[in-house]
Amino acid sequence: MSRVSLEAPVAGWLTSVREVPDPVFSEEMMGAGFAIDPTEGTLVAPCAAEVVLVAPTHHSVTLRTEAGAELLLHIGLETVALQGRGFETHVRDGDRVAAGDLLISFDLDLVGIEAKSLVTPIVLTNSAEFRLELDGLDRVVERGQAIGSIEAKAAPKSLAAGDREVHRSEAEVGFAHGLHARPAARIADCAKRFPGEITITVGGKSAKARSPVAIMALNAKKGDLAQLTATGGQGRRALEALAELISEGEEPPRPTATVAPARAVGANEIAGVTALPGVALGTAVHWRRQVRDTPEQGQGIEAERAALDKALAAVRGRIEARTVQMSGPAAAIARAHIGLLEDEDLNAGALRQIEQGRSAGRAWQLATAAAAEALRAADNPLLRERVADLEDIAAQVTAALAGEAAVGQLELPPETILLADELLPSELMSLPRESVSGLATSGGGATSHIALIAASFGIPTLVAMGPELSRVPEGSRVLLDATAGVLVIEPDENTAARAATAAAQVGADAGDCVTRDGERVRLLANLGGLADVEPALAAGAEGCGLLRTEFLFLDRSDAPSEEEQQATYQAIADALGGRPLTIRTLDIGGDKPVAYIRFPDEQNPALGARGIRTALFRPELIDEQLRAIAAVRGGAIKVMIPMVSSIAELRSVRDRLAALREGVSLGVMVETPAAALIADRLAAEADFLSIGSNDLAQYALAMDRTNPLLAGSIDALHPAVLRLIAMTAEAGQRSGKPVSLCGNLASEPLGALVLLGLGIRELSAVPAALPAVRGALRQVAAADCRLLAERALEAESAAQVRALAAELLNSSGEGDTE
């Protein structure tokens, strides 16, 4: 049988292989073919065939039909780098399969997030001998739908038997992931430029160099020795070219750590992760850091020393001037930067370089780079943020030495939507805030420094947008919908008008938050310090549901005294004017290290002595803090314990507090799966529960919240996390104890709808998010949110929950205008 019918091996959008954004496929180096952008994670055989090769990393499979046509089915692009993560193969080499038999199942979300693209090329690798015919392209196809056929061409011309001279050479495989599909295609492509037989042998297995499939089947790893033989007059030249290619190991850049999440978006849209919800319409401005030429040689030791001192003082002065109006994360980071400017080792290191004749700028760069290198070498995740701080301070001092304007003095058009690959905290902090309406970064995570600072400034922000962000034309009109997690380039008039109305409505009125059918939700604010109170009240906060006291402790050289703590808590209570103030006891450790407290050596700090567990090895810290809190007068003070996983922890704090002051309300944060699972027992003894969805998601999903690679996946709307939240809400209802939620999920309008449906009546959010959350809750009926929550608990993924919540919000909004 010469003609074989082909069925779509996966459902999705069928398109030409030329559309694949990778020249290995689009230039048909592997052979003719087609591609499907999949909408499901199931790959089946397109026809009856034998399985020739399943990639050791499970992301591709090669089939051979009875007539000898070879088809490579390659899920996604650059997916070899996933090293098998997200793929499960259901066949082995040598198996016979019928059309429709399952070959590989894969995790659409994971691969979509981590790979360059999900688009799946299907290539006829011996298209010199076979012809591929498709019934049509650029259409949606169902799995198993007939899409075309393969037919044998006339018998291939055999190679001219002329020159029989055999040339030999060898090369060490340099490609980081061995000879997988991409290098194999490039090698085959190179071999095709030369006549004669060329063979590659690795570990006793040989392959024809013109066959990418055969090359892949060698399973050659980096460092393996490949023996090459070639016949024909051009054999020597062929081997030189091939040896160079095989050993150079030059790979195209790997996918960056934070590519945009796999979310269906339109052609003029780019998806991202919400750091602070909100909508902004404005002009796209790309922020690109100046690469400064720093002279290597100095102008004399004294002159360079003086220049360095002057630059350090200038940077310090600039930071101090900014810090006056800051609190919370921004203030903590600014303090860290001042600490680095004064760091003796760093200064001594720079002076040594100056004494060796280097310029002040170069000396400072070398000193900070050496310090950063030492921190990286320590391989301690706690030190990661310190490396970022060092890089930041290096850039600031270099700029000061070059006499350049700080970012804040840059001219930005009004209503700028700032787009940045990566932005240093100092750069963000010194921006002319009145001109910046929105921020989008290609890297970062929702809880990265940048995200925290942007949130405290109230700038709607999207992070983890991936390299796509760079394609937004400079000066174009863009709509940053950080609530929906999308940036729209040149939105049409309708979209722009709707967004502008939504943005205006959201800020309009800060009265009670009551749903359409009359359910009241209390909206409180998360605070980092005194300076956050005023914006919180302006945004209509009814009090503070979470005071992150650790910001008072972070990034300084010694702990705040009991008096300093008491004065700070008192000032915040006063500023809140009798509204509730929920003070969380110290939550340090994990991703919040404190230089002056020696933590036990820990392999996994996120699972170590953080939160209330610090009391196990430093009980005096919590006692001192409880004394400071107990001394606060007036106001509705509540105390809340972080990272609880046992009832004993609650009892221990209750006893300590009771010894200091009677009648203070004491609550437990539910942010470990353990606490959620024993929420009934905790609720029986605590005065209230408050769910920390950031950590609950981290621990329930086993995803490090500081890992940018996972920024698009760690989503508290995952049904697993929602089930834990539902359990906690139910436990509260049964025992009559209030349950609130103070993680980032409360700052997301879509999250708020689901939480309301799950029975949470009190949310504590970033101050700047309160208007958007209030607006969303007022737009819906609680009864509809309950139905939404029921469906969310049964949903397959966080993405599905988001889609359901967005559907409810949109349909409720439409009702408004009718």
Side-chain-side CA neighbours of 580 within 13 Å: the count stands at 22
Among ligand PEP, Mg ion, none, residue 693 binds (CB under 5-8 Å by kind): ligand PEP
Do 774 and 510 form a contact (C-beta atoms < 8 A)? Answer: yes
DSSP assignment letter at 426: H
Among ligand PEP, Mg ion, none, residue 229 binds (CB under 5-8 Å by kind): none
- The residues, any chain, with a CB within 8 Å of residue 596's CB and separated by 6 or more, are 556, 557, 558, 559
Do 423 and 443 form a contact (C-beta atoms < 8 A)? Answer: no
Residue 204's identity, in one-letter code, is G
Task: Give the angle 578-582-584 at the CA atoms, nearest 5°.
Answer: 150
Q: Binding to Mg ion by residue 695, rule CB under 5 A?
A: yes
Closest CB to ligand PEP among residues 194, 553: 553
Closest CB to ligand PEP among residues 64, 522: 522
Phi first, then psi: what are they for 370, rounded to 5°? -65, -40
Number of residues that make up the chain: 818
How do beta strands 636-641 and 665-670 pair? parallel
Q: Binding to Mg ion by residue 784, rule CB under 5 A?
A: no
Q: Binding to Mg ion by residue 28, rule CB under 5 A?
A: no
Closest CB to ligand PEP among residues 417, 724: 724
Closest CB to ligand PEP among residues 264, 702: 702
Closest CB to ligand PEP among residues 496, 720: 720
Do 639 and 664 form a contact (C-beta atoms < 8 A)? Answer: yes
Least gap, CB of 586 to Mg ion (angstroms): 12
CA 527/CA 545 separation, integer angstroms: 8
Stretch that binds Mg ion, among 7-15, 659-667, 691-699, 725-733 (CB under 5 A): 691-699
Phi first, then psi: what are they for 348, rounded to 5°? -65, -40
Least gap, CB of 642 to Mg ion (angstroms): 6
Least gap, CB of 592 to ligand PEP (angstroms): 8
Judged by CB under 5 A, the number of residues near Mg ion is 3
Do 212 and 175 form a contact (C-beta atoms < 8 A)? Answer: no
CA distances from 55 to 32, 72, 88, 633 (A): 20, 10, 11, 68
SS3 letters across 98-153: CCCCEEEEECHHHHHHHCCECCEEEEECCCCCEEEEECCCCEEECCCCEEEEEEEC
Stretch that binds Mg ion, among 104-112, 163-171, 341-349, 686-694 (CB under 5 A): 686-694
Least gap, CB of 697 to ligand PEP (angstroms): 8
Among ligand PEP, Mg ion, none, residue 624 binds (CB under 5-8 Å by kind): none
Among Mg ion, ligand PEP, none, residue 437 binds (CB under 5-8 Å by kind): none
Stretch that binds Mg ion, among 2-10, 237-245, 655-663, 688-696 (CB under 5 A): 688-696
Least gap, CB of 348 to ligand PEP (angstroms): 36
Least gap, CB of 525 to ligand PEP (angstroms): 12
Closest CB to ligand PEP among residues 20, 455: 455
Q: Is the dihedral of CA 495, 496, 497, 499 positive or negative?
A: positive
Among ligand PEP, Mg ion, none, residue 446 binds (CB under 5-8 Å by kind): none
Q: Binding to Mg ion by residue 550, rule CB under 5 A?
A: no
Phi first, then psi: what are they for 374, rounded to 5°? -65, -40
Among ligand PEP, Mg ion, none, residue 426 binds (CB under 5-8 Å by kind): none
Closest CB to ligand PEP among residues 75, 546: 546
Q: Binding to Mg ion by residue 624, rule CB under 5 A?
A: no
Out of 190, 513, 742, 785, the active site residue is 742
One DSSP character per residue, 759-793 reads T--EEEE-GGGHHHHHHHHHHS-HHHHHHHHHHHH
The first and second tokens of residue 526, run together, are 């998360």
Among ligand PEP, Mg ion, none, residue 649 binds (CB under 5-8 Å by kind): none
Among Mg ion, ligand PEP, none, residue 548 binds (CB under 5-8 Å by kind): ligand PEP
Closest CB to Mg ion among residues 463, 644: 644
Of 580, 286, 246, which is closest to residue 420 (Cα–Cα)?
286
Q: Is 742 a catalytic residue?
A: yes
Q: Binding to Mg ion by residue 269, rule CB under 5 A?
A: no
Among ligand PEP, Mg ion, none, residue 375 binds (CB under 5-8 Å by kind): none
Out of 449, 513, 718, 785, the active site residue is 449
Least gap, CB of 642 to ligand PEP (angstroms): 7
Residue with the two structure tokens 């329930």: 700
Angle between helices 719-735 and 693-701 (to 10 degrees): 130
CA 133/CA 155 separation, integer angstroms: 18
Among 458, 460, 545, 692, binds Mg ion (CB under 5 A): 692
Least gap, CB of 285 to ligand PEP (angstroms): 31
- The residues, any chain, with a CB within 8 Å of residue 305's CB and separated by 6 or more, are 351, 354, 360
Residues at the contact surface with ligand PEP, assessed by CB under 6 A: 546, 548, 587, 671, 692-695, 742-743
CA 665/CA 453 separation, integer angstroms: 30
Question: Which residues in the 739-778 window bind Mg ion by CB under 5 A?
Answer: none
CA 782/CA 516 separation, integer angstroms: 7
Q: Binding to Mg ion by residue 545, rule CB under 5 A?
A: no
CA 465/CA 504 separation, integer angstroms: 26
Q: Binding to Mg ion by residue 605, rule CB under 5 A?
A: no
Closest CB to ligand PEP among residues 548, 802: 548
Least gap, CB of 692 to ligand PEP (angstroms): 3
CA 711/CA 708 separation, integer angstroms: 5
CA 726/CA 758 separation, integer angstroms: 6
Q: Binding to Mg ion by residue 671, rule CB under 5 A?
A: yes
Q: What is the distance of C-alpha 158 from the center of its chain?
A: 53
Least gap, CB of 584 to ligand PEP (angstroms): 8
Closest CB to Mg ion among residues 170, 602: 602
Among Mg ion, ligand PEP, none, residue 742 binds (CB under 5-8 Å by kind): ligand PEP
For Mg ion, the binding residues (CB under 5 A) are 671, 692, 695
> Where in the sequence numbering do the catalytic residues fall?
449, 742
